[in-house]
Amino acid sequence: MISYEYLLSDINNIKGIGIKTSKLFRKKNINTIFDLLWSLPRDTVDRTNIVKINELQIGKIQTIIINVRKYNFPRIRNLPNRVLCDDETGKLECIFFNSYEGYIKKILPLGKKVTISGKVGYYKKKYQITNPTHISTDVNSVKKIFTTYSLTEGLTEKKYNNIINEVLKNIPDLSEWLSDEILEKFNYISWKQAILELHESKNIKKKGNFLNRLIFDEILATLLINSKIRKSIKKIKKNKKKFDNKEFNKIKDKINFDLTNDQLSTIKEINDDLKSNQKMFRLLQGDVGSGKTIVAFVASMNVITSGYQVCLMAPTEILAKQHFNQAKKLFDNNINISLLTSKTELKERKLILNDLSNNHINIIIGTHSLFQEKIEYNNLGLIIIDEQHKFGVKQRKKLSDKGGKNCDVLVMSATPIPRTLVMTAFGDMDTSIIKYKPLNRKQIKTYSKPDNKINEIIKFVKKQIILKNQVFWVCPLIEESKKIDHQSSVKRYEDLKKIFKDKVGLLHGSLDKEEKNNILIKFLNKKIDILVSTTVIEVGIDFPNANTIIIENANKFGLSQLHQLRGRVGRGDKESYCILMFKSNLSENAKKRINILKKNNDGFKISEEDMKLRGYGDLLGFKQSGLQSFRLADPIINEDLFFLAEKEVKKIELENKSLHKYITLLKLHDRADILNDLV
């Protein structure tokens, strides 16, 4: 066995682990020895202080030396076995559920002095210890400080400690992968020393550099792989796209606003990529409403001008349709634009596929069905993915491969994530950021109201409608059930209809394409004033005349999600409002979160605060992002280590070192398999 393989071997190989115990570990997601070692202890139990029976404190874990006096093994099933013990100051009973007599006689031999430790109870004027876990005739084996781990039922602290100690004895020496410069920052602690020390009870409260060293390893593994992917994509030489500013100027003439400086600079970054002979693999980040779409269309136009096809993928049908309509307005008639979603009729679909392979379509806009089927492009030059934060590193890599060597890739995301997470989740890409929104945007006024104040809300809505504004009314997914979700929106729709008559529309997940489109068009054409919906309006859709959004049960949403929803309004230049409804008696945490939203309009700030409260795992969609989760590292708490690792990776890149030295690290952290697919 190569030495590191021991660490990756199955826990079944550990001496003392049977099928039953290994099942308990697997329940806790511990499958390999590495998993076991990297699950660090949580706390300690001090069993060093030995007391007399008359000094025992009820409810505490205590250690005592006792004489075993008498067995009491009842013949009736389900009654516990008891052993009467004493010392010179009093009596104590040991109680055993589910233990055989033979076993009890062995661990508590009659007449012997035994050290036992356990939680002390008191019943019918007698001290007792039920199912004591630490019993020995050898005082020193009990009189210790034990580390405690997060246990599942059936896995005792003693058993866990025995297993860990067995493993700690056997861990191999591996050659160091960190550079001297980095090691110096962690006091030259090796990974092995770090692991050994972290499982020591004395270090539980002061983990310091032992822990930092391991966290750094974990971050480095992730960033190294990202860098490797980025480099391997850059290595692909493509044909340069050739275009001038003519089409861009035409587009500028067609829009009724000036592009912001950030939009202009991102367009330039993208153009430079398109014109170079390196494949573009770029993330365009910008808060909701920052104006990413127009940037995407300018890029599309340039790619089309240089003789290539473009494919734009949106997360929902509605958004695809809206992009499609906007493209039609923006592009000249000689540009062929098509829409393809899972709902496109078979006959039409065939025509589209045919046209794509014949180069009769210049830009195809659609949903993820664009990538699921076998579509043959004639000459694909750019893939744009809008709002697809659920795409993981591996999926994006596949996508880039699928597009072929001449195909550039642009991913757009409104999920405002802090830089440490960008490094992690999008570290395989270059990034452009639209930091500032167009200046005409006003702050969206955000209020919260308990459900029972609904009459005030209705009054407010009436006023907005008189002012010729439109209103979104969002009913969230309750209990993750489509059916209930549906019912809640239907009920609200019907209630509102009683007041606003036929000026209310309902949009929910079970409507078919036609029905959805009809309602959206009605809303866009101001035939209806209020659109009741489930969260289907969440991403990207643009309704400039809507200035108010009401969100029911707001505490069911994550902050970033609420911010995204709120971003559906305030896109024009009028005063806009977001009203968060909630059931009364919100928890303190929920109140804090709603306040963050009220006070901030900057998606980055909001997501950072949200992560502080809920951890990064809950951040919009990141659970499903294929982002490999960290065991130890936390992008908020360990920000400095992320930046340190980023610097180190840049150095490794510059020196053009092979990753050979890091293979073990990558394997241990399960980051290595993607290496096989890379050039």
Interface residue list for Mg ion (CB under 5 A): 540
Spatial distance between the Cα atoms of 174 and 397, rounded to a whole number of angstroms: 31
Residue 290 binds ligand ADP (CB under 6 A):
yes
544 interacts with, out of Mg ion, ligand ADP, none, CB within 5 to 8 A per kind: ligand ADP
Contacts of 7 (CB under 8 A, 6+ apart): 32, 33, 34, 37, 171, 172, 668
Residue 611 binds ligand ADP (CB under 6 A):
no
The 503-542 contact track toward ligand ADP, x by CB under 6 A, reads -------------------------------------x-x
Residue 230 binds ligand ADP (CB under 6 A):
no
| Stretch of 211-219, 259-267, 333-341, 524-532 lying at the interface with ligand ADP (CB under 6 A) | 259-267
Q: Which is nearer to ligand ADP, 172 or 544 (CB)?
A: 544
542 interacts with, out of ligand ADP, Mg ion, none, CB within 5 to 8 A per kind: ligand ADP
Residue 414 binds ligand ADP (CB under 6 A):
yes
What kind and span of H or E run contains 615? none
CA angle, 290 as apex, 288 and 293 as ends, to 5°? 90
Selected binder of ligand ADP within 486, 556, 571, 593 (CB under 6 A):
571
Q: In a 3-state reduction of DSSP, which class is residue 337?
A: strand
Residue 323 binds ligand ADP (CB under 6 A):
no
For the bound state, the minimum distance from the C-beta of residue 119 to ligand ADP, rounded and expressed in Å, comes to 57
For the bound state, the minimum distance from the C-beta of residue 433 to Mg ion, rounded and expressed in Å, comes to 15
Contacts of 158 (CB under 8 A, 6+ apart): 133, 134, 146
For the bound state, the minimum distance from the C-beta of residue 547 to ligand ADP, rounded and expressed in Å, comes to 13
270 interacts with, out of Mg ion, ligand ADP, none, CB within 5 to 8 A per kind: none
- N residues, the chain: 679
Check: CB of residue 386 under 8 Å from CB of residue 326. no
575 interacts with, out of ligand ADP, Mg ion, none, CB within 5 to 8 A per kind: none
Selected binder of ligand ADP within 97, 122, 188, 257 (CB under 6 A):
257
Residue 289 binds ligand ADP (CB under 6 A):
yes
Residue 154: which region, alpha, beta or left (left: phi > 0; alpha: psi -120 to 50)?
Answer: left
| Stretch of 251-259, 394-402, 604-612, 653-661 lying at the interface with ligand ADP (CB under 6 A) | 251-259
Window 541-570: residues binding ligand ADP (CB under 6 A): 542, 544
Full strand arrangement of the beta sheet holding 470-474: 444-450, 576-582, 546-551, 470-474, 530-533, 504-507
- CA contacts within 13 A on the Cβ side of 228: 23
Residue 260 binds ligand ADP (CB under 6 A):
yes
Q: Which is nearer to ligand ADP, 59 or 544 (CB)?
A: 544
For the bound state, the minimum distance from the C-beta of residue 352 to Mg ion, rounded and expressed in Å, comes to 23
| Stretch of 146-154, 233-241, 286-294, 475-483 lying at the interface with ligand ADP (CB under 6 A) | 286-294
Q: Which is nearer to ligand ADP, 284 or 532 (CB)?
A: 284
Q: In a 3-state reduction of DSSP, which class is residue 89?
A: coil
Selected binder of ligand ADP within 440, 443, 595, 629 (CB under 6 A):
440
Check: CB of residue 94 under 8 Å from CB of residue 85. yes
Distances (CA, A) of 64 to 7, 93, 148, 246: 38, 12, 20, 89
Residue 315 binds ligand ADP (CB under 6 A):
no
Q: Which is nearer to ligand ADP, 204 or 251 (CB)?
A: 251
Q: Cα 549 vs. chain centroid, distance in angstroms?
A: 27
CA angle, 645 as apex, 639 and 649 as ends, to 5°? 145
Structure tokens at 87: 């010392």
Residue 330 binds ligand ADP (CB under 6 A):
no
Strand-pairing partners, residue 447, are 579
Spatial distance between the Cα atoms of 288 and 602, rounded to a whole number of angstroms: 10
φ, ψ dihedrals at 223, nearest 5°: -70, -30
- Residue with structure tokens 């034990």? 146
- What is the contact surface with ligand ADP in residues (CB under 6 A)? 257-260, 263, 286, 288-294, 414, 438, 440, 540, 542, 544, 571
